Structures are given as structure tokens and as C-alpha cells.
């Protein structure tokens, strides 16, 4: 069954090509897509037939974890908004899938650090993960999520 994956790109030439190249290189089969732009970003909805998303969700379910919210929107104090890859908003836990493709430049890395610092200042805890971990060791990825979620639950009691 296809999975809807939402990707937020900078609204600039070449970004969609990078997305296509990255998904193709990873062997991801895109069954369909819809894209629109505005406010300096492109919102891309992909229908993915590849089992990677399903494997990640299955690992979380097998670990007995509630499923996180994908592309969770956080309103920032300056009126802007950011989208977390996955979130457990009840415990302010963000799971960010870091990829060298999207974080390859110094400017990207600095922007991510500034964004993450603002989220931490708002009380969020950020658990970075990688595509490699989720696809090759989904049980380990789920263990890390469980541990981070349990730590956040203990702190918020």
C-alpha cells in the first residue's frame, strides 16, 4: 500500500531534481506526486510504494510505541513555522531524519542548528536519526525512539 510522504523544499530551481535524484538513487518507487509552492518553500506530496516507510512504522508498532505525527507543524515565537519530520507532541519529542543530501552545505547545517536551538528553547527534545538506521536496523531505531520517549515522559511527570 502506498504511503504519503510530505517533503518541504526551498522554493528555488533544482530542488525538485535533487529530490528525484535522491529518491531514485535510494531505489524508492514513486507512484505519484503533487507539488505546490508558496512563501519561499515547495511542499511535495509523494506516494511511495517502497516499503521503507512501512518498515519504520512496523518497527514502531512492533515495539509497542504509539505512532508519531508526520510533518508536525510548530509555530515559532517570531510567527514563522517549522515542520518536524516526526513528532510526539504530547512529550515534545521531535524525530528528525538527517540526510547528507539535504544537509550537505555549511549554510544548511547552520540553518538546521539554529532551528533546532529554537525548538529546544521552546522545550522540545530532538532525536536525530538517519535513513540508513531506519532501513537497515528498524528495531534499533525503534529502541532509540522508545528510550527518548520514556525519558521525556519521566521528565514531564
The pTM score is 0.65
pLDDT for the residue 74:
93
- Paired with 41 in beta bridges are 10, 38
- Supply 38's cell numbers: 508558496
**Comparing 1-50 with 66-157, is the CATH topology the same?**
no
Backbone angles phi, psi at 25, to 5 degrees: -65, -30
The CATH number of 66-157, from 2.60.40, 1.10.1760, 3.40.960, 1.10.357, is 3.40.960
pLDDT digits (tens, 9 = 90+) for 14-36: 777 776 766 665 566 666 776 76
Strand partners, 42: 9, 37
Compare 137 and 134 and report the one with higher pLDDT. 137
Q: What distance in Å separates the CA atoms of residue 57 and residue 41, rounded to the nearest whole number?
A: 27
> 41-45, 111-115, 145-149 — which one is most confidently predicted on average?
145-149
Place of cell 529530490: 19
Note the pLDDT tens digit of each residue in 91-101: 999 998 776 55
**d(C-alpha 45, C-alpha 24), whole Å:** 16
Give the CATH superfamily of 1-50: ACT domain (3.30.70.260)
The percentage of residues in the chain with a pLDDT greater than 70, rounded to a whole number, is 70
Where in the chain are the domains? 1-50, 66-157
pLDDT of residue 40 exceeding 90: no
pLDDT score at 106: 80
Whether the CB-CB separation of 96 and 134 falls below 8 Å is answered with no
Amino acid at each position: 500500500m502506498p504511503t504519503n510522504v510530505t517533503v518541504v523544499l526551498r522554493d528555488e530551481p533544482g530542488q525538485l531534481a535533487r529530490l528525484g535524484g535522491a529518491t531514485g538513487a535510494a531505489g524508492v518507487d514513486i507512484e505519484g506526486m503533487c507539488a505546490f509552492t508558496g512563501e519561499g518553500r515547495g511542499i511535495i506530496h509523494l506516494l511511495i510504494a517502497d516499503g521503507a516507510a512501512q518498515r519504520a512504522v512496523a518497527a514502531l508498532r512492533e515495539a509497542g510505541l504509539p505512532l508519531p505525527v508526520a510533518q508536525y507543524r510548530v509555530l515559532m515565537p517570531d510567527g514563522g513555522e517549522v515542520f518536524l519530520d516526526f513528532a510526539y507532541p504530547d512529550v515534545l519529542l521531535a524525530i528528525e531524519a538527517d540526510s547528507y543530501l539535504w544537509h550537505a552545505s555549511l549554510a544548511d547545517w547552520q540553518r538546521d542548528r539554529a532551528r533546532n536551538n529554537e525548538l529546544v528553547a521552546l522545550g522540545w527534545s530532538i532525536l536525530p536519526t538517519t535513513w540508513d538506521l531506519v532501513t537497515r536496523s528498524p528495531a534499533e531505531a525503534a529502541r532509540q525512539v522508545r528510550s527518548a520517549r520514556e525519558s521525556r515522559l519521566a521528565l514531564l511527570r
